[in-house]
Structure 1
């Protein structure tokens, strides 16, 4: 349908194109009002008082635990590389990389929540034997690890355990490279 304005020859000014994400247009492009901002502050204050945020001490402990797990899986892959007869240079370059995902990665976890983590290793390290047998045994020998439970037959095979009291769900995937490249998580996600 054509409006009478379009027939008169008067054209509306050309606006800069707006990028639209999704199928429908946004309900509103307006920013938050002062009342919205105050409600957000009140909600955050309530959540803090209710104990739904972890303390800085627990946050530091989680980061420390992830660093220790990273060190363990790197040493595990180096050990397997050496046992399989690869060169000294390959052993030096060998590594696995831990990536977090889920509520921890999103920053919406609460105190006591588990950390979902993915261990990415080289092509010659298998989930069935190396992850669920060799790494399992390495973790079982560590005093920091409790409640170690491999679940290899789950829809998503996972090794569950607590490391210094922090619950961890660890998954494994190998990539089709002999050496895991140094890649940031942002590069993988975006």
Structure 2
């Protein structure tokens, strides 16, 4: 399936690929500015921040149905071999708190499912909640854009204190990218260049 090309270019590519690569071409998504998403440093604007997201999804579905041979595509996947997932984890009764809001949302669903196999997963918001969930055994803070929402994160001092106190008391934690930045002493804001206080568990500041 080709993406973001004109109809004429699609015909050229389809003929070349099917002739020379022995691959089936199912269709294409045409170039359409209405599908574009705004970008910022390090990536695109997240889906939850796109005001007309539903309209974009509806338009995309219309273009897919119009320009992709869905009957052939579905038939192709019906003929695919079954996939057996043999990798599972033991339920150890581990209760994991996962930071999830507009500041921290970069997660692979498969990782959350593996944590659910180990016990229970509860989500919390470093932006809005006042403290960590009760009786947790593990803390997971993924990536995101804490520098974009640093003013709100820094103002939530009760959450910062809750995380710092829990980590200092021995709570196991995995933090990556923006989550690791959040655990440092401070993060530089996007607008003013000012350093805003964060959890402070690790020495150093993120710029």
TM-score, L = length of structure 2: 0.30
Q: Return the structure number with greater relative CO, CA threshold 8 A, min gap 6.
A: 1
TM-score, L = length of structure 1: 0.32
